[in-house]
Structure 1
């Protein structure tokens, strides 16, 4: 039978026809085959069909096989006749599986289904197998099977598109759970190691946003092909979501085998990809969990592989990490922190501190940077470095950021009304806030609610944030600037600004990052960078403020070279509104 181009359903229909024809002949005799039957089988079916056929006696010893059997399994008749079909077992199925098989043969006179067996060369593969007893006295058994490896992915799509990713032709998360549960059971029975790898494409959203979904789709398809080129036939790849893949490595000898695969994947996937006129360079992060040391069930292995993947992201681009128990401890700590942060906004645990900004020539306070602080009722003051990244990831930065903006504007309005202090309040905008479509309307609403004139508000964006999407940045900044407020670029010198965009941005101030100010007197490179920033700002008719000023020597250096404003511990750390008022009174 020629199987080329046939669907699995058509193949199975033909197998059933062969089985019925064979059974019809065989059931005419309770003894061995008659001469006529034997000649028919050998000349018409046994020799000519591509399916594997085997016949056993009542003791389940093989008494005959056809050339199709040899072609599929690799065993010659001489190697199997007299032996039991268990020679083909893959050990993927437990005894309960075979018990059900023979029970169904006893009750229904037939068993038919998918089974995994092993070829002579050791390769494990899927078969579609039909088994029927021979004759009324069950003098033996007839088995007909075909290799369905090539039909597996097609069958997934036919059975249920929900299990199949149409873009990459890979099985998805649903099949991952089924397959991984099965492989864990298999590894337990055979006391074998196996591994789960979770892979995430770094900055995939940026590619989608800048080059379009066509580039993103091409990247995913290319990654799928590259991943498959790195693996053995027995390993399996799944697409889990937008930019995430899972890989099951079956029966590895040692954990280092998973490391070698991860290194190979990182190297291959980092090769450039051509899309239209763009050459894309893609990096990935991989997390690895090993059965049984990192988990003895599907859920634990996936959870721990994800924890390792997140750690790989933190460690930098093109990185892989093996799971370590401390990773879950950190994840739990972050989850707890996020839960507490949600309550903090409702329970008034958040507060805004203000760090004075001074005119360097007169050392008069002319502004203040609003800085978020969190005082937990049990844990005390929690560092912004701990909770700000969690607020960003969880989306809590949006309501928190609006609260900070409103609180700072309200405070500046209070100082203006009660003390006639014209303090310009600087408020940082996070990446998530800046990407909000209603950012401009939100800022306008806060100014109207608090009554603060826009000229007393300065909004800060980081240099790297401004350059992520410079055209969007330009439009947004122009809208904000048209309302009458000030705009500054924070942490200047730490990113990669395009001067052509920088001169177009409607900004008022460049803020020198503290990392350059810190060693300004001892590091010639830092001093040169600060001088270059001051010169650049003045050439663009912008003012300069230096942050992190902690010594008189730093202050004097900045004054001598034309820096207009400073902030830092030399003058005051961030303080409460009450303490800030005292500083104003002193100055």
Structure 2
């Protein structure tokens, strides 16, 4: 045992680095005690360097690993004492898994190494960098103003996009970068990381951004949307939706000729929530079809109930979203609704937006024809706001064209809006399509539209959307 026993307390060292426990042991040798100590010290130093690299460095790129980056980042922030601004950036190589599957792991690793080198070069003077995960890196660097972040992003994007491993191969590398600012968006690395991750999630969902800086208002909006999405499920179960009705007035007789059913959400605690807010969320959450089917059924049941009371028979218009329209069972759903409610098809009108009709023209026109074959009318809503031309009207199987409010608002004082509106009305008349002007708010607008030959008017000038009981009281007349 000899030397080993003599120096057991000196040789037998337990070193903990980053949660790893390592036993350093020097075997016996025939050197002098002084030489033995020197050899052991060198061995311990060598082993310590290895342990440090294993614990704190990324093996492939040599950058800090996630753990070390967080430690160094927190130290850097704490030492600044809020005197400086720092930006935390997450950098992800877009579609890296796909690129590596095509060109192989070796090429993928080379891309990561070159990316790391670029990041190091651009942040060496005023920041630190690390590798977070497979294709993700992170930077924490000092900034003078928010614009510094954009400049760094542009430099990174430009240089990384030009990475070449093999000649004549363009990998089309693109990076997704999310950023959060210290101390505005957090005083610790964990807070900044959380907000950067939020930004990353939003970019992936939207799919139309490659760079975004965290925004507190945006986060509050998204969190509110998430709450609404959860509450919408309860709203469906608890039957918290109601339909309001807005009359359509004939421009010549000035009498009601129909009504549009508009959904409203009466939240038990928050009151009425605007459909402009909850409808897009319902579409994203996959709830719009169920809500839409309820709205269609409720409108048909209500219209039939009014007819059964002996009131004059009117057409009720119901909006259908693109998601509902392209469901395979859409036509069967309309048939079932008419059968269950007992409403004759001629008293139902389905409203589609102009943008829906250009998604898949062939399929759209076929479905529109199938709906009309049932006897149901079709109205094209918001015309003039999409990408179709007036000539497109001749191929669409529609009965009614609704002029968008954006034209109506300017019709009195804007010559272009007036000319466009008049052209649409004249062409619709030639094609035997009725026109409805929506969003009419003044007497002058109503008179001008009537003089142009518009068939129907809808808007606050006559009535805002109101609940069924009040609508019945105001507009329903016994035949």
Is residue 448 of structure 2 the alignment partner of residue 540 of structure 1? no
Matching residue of 1:97: 17
Q: Return the offset for 1:186.
A: 3.1
Question: Does the C-alpha gap of structure 1 residues 423 and 512 become closer, same or farther in structure 2, counting only changes over 3 Å?
Answer: same
Task: Tell me what 1:249 maps to.
Answer: 139
What is the aligned partner in structure 2 of residue 358 from structure 1? 249
C-alpha separation in 2, matches of 1:583 and 1:270: 65
Deviation, structure 1 residue 104: 2.4
Residues 1:185 and 2:105 aligned together: no
Q: Is the 8 A contact 2:353 2:383 kept in 1?
A: yes
User: How much has 1:416 moved relative to structure 2?
Assistant: 2.1
How much has 1:352 moved relative to structure 2? 0.2
Instruction: Give the structure 2 partner of residue 419 of structure 1.
Output: 310
CA distance in 2, matches of 1:437, 1:529: 36
Q: Is the partner of 1:518 in helix, strand or coil? A: helix
Task: Report if the CA contact (8 A) 1:228-1:237 is conserved.
Answer: no
Partner of 1:232: 119
In the alignment, which of 152, 157, 160 is matched to residue 261 of structure 1?
152
Question: CA distance change for structure 1 residues 228 and 140 in 2, over 3 Å: closer, same or farther?
Answer: closer
Q: CA deviation at 1:247?
A: 5.0
User: Matched residues in 1 for 2:18 and 2:198: separation?
Assistant: 38
1:540, 1:560 → 2: CA distance?
19
Alpha-carbon RMSD across the aligned residues, in angstroms, is: 4.7
Decide whether the 8 Å contact of 2:179 with 2:213 is kept in 1. Answer: yes
The residue that corresponds to 1:17 in the other structure is none
Q: SS of 1:445's equivalent? A: helix
Structure 2 length normalisation: TM-score? 0.72
Asked if 1:511 is matched to 2:402, the reply is yes
Name the stretch that deviates more: 298-307 or 230-239: 230-239
Note the 1:446-465 alignment, pairs <5 A: 446-465=337-356
Structure 2 residue aligned with 1:472: 363
Moved more, 344-353 or 471-480: 471-480
Q: Name the residue aligned to 1:130.
A: none
The C-alpha deviation readout for 1:346-373, integer Å capped at 9, x for no partner, is 2222100000112211122121111011
CA contact (8 A) 1:352 1:373 kept: yes
Question: Counterparts of 2:289 and 2:175 in 1: how far apart (Å)?
Answer: 28
**Corresponding residue of 2:89:** 196
* 1:266–1:319 contact (8 Å) kept in structure 2: no
State the Cα distance separating 1:389 from its structure 2 match.
2.2
**Could you tell me which residue of structure 1 aligns to residue 282 of structure 2?**
391
1:401 aligns with 2:401: no
Cα distance change, pair 521–195 in 1 and its aligned pair in 2 (3 A): same
Distance 1:200 1:579 in 2: 58
Cα distance in 1 for partners of 2:18, 2:68 equals 16
Q: For each residue in 1:165-219, what CA deviation from the matched residue of structure 2 results, as whole angstroms up to 9, or x when unmatched?
A: xxxxxxxxxxxxx954552233124448562347899xx9xxxxxxxx99xx99x
Q: Distance in 1 between matches of 2:159 and 2:260?
A: 46
Higher relative contact order (CA 8 A, sep 6+): 2
Q: Which residue of 1 aligns with 2:234?
A: 343
Superposition pairs of residues 6-405 of structure 1, within 5 angstroms: 96-97=16-17, 100=20, 103-106=22-25, 138-141=39-42, 143=46, 152=60, 180-191=66-77, 193=86, 195-197=88-90, 232-233=119-120, 248-251=138-141, 256=146, 257-263=148-154, 287-290=178-181, 294-295=185-186, 300-305=191-196, 307-308=198-199, 320-405=211-296
C-alpha change, 1:576 and 1:140, in structure 2 (3 Å) is closer
The total of aligned residue pairs comes to 419
Which stretch shifts more, 398-407 or 442-451? 442-451
Cα separation, 1, equivalents of 2:380 and 2:175: 30
Q: Which runs of 5+ in 2 are unaligned?
A: 5-9, 29-34, 80-85, 121-128, 163-173
CA contact (8 A) 1:195 1:258 kept: no
In structure 2, the CA distance between the partners of 1:268 and 1:188, relative to structure 1 (3 Å rule), is closer
Contact 2:408 2:438 in 1 (8 A): yes
Is contact 2:245–2:260 with CA below 8 Å preserved after alignment? Answer: yes
Of 549-558 and 256-265, more deviation after overlay is shown by: 256-265
CA distance in 2, matches of 1:476, 1:310: 36
Q: CA deviation at 1:237?
A: 8.4
Residue in structure 1 matching 2:326, options 435, 439, 442: 435
Whether contact under 8 Å (2:74, 2:188) holds in the other structure is no
Structure-2 change in CA distance of 1:520 and 1:417 (3 Å): same
Against the structure 1 CA distance between its residues 486 and 460, is the aligned structure 2 distance closer, same or farther, given a 3 Å change threshold? same
Deviations 1:534-586 (A, max 9, x none): 13323433221100112221111111111111111111111111111123246
Q: Distance in 2 between matches of 1:526 and 1:268?
A: 48
Report deviation, 1:426. 1.0
**TM-score, normalising length: structure 1:** 0.60
Cα deviation for residue 139 of structure 1 reads 4.5
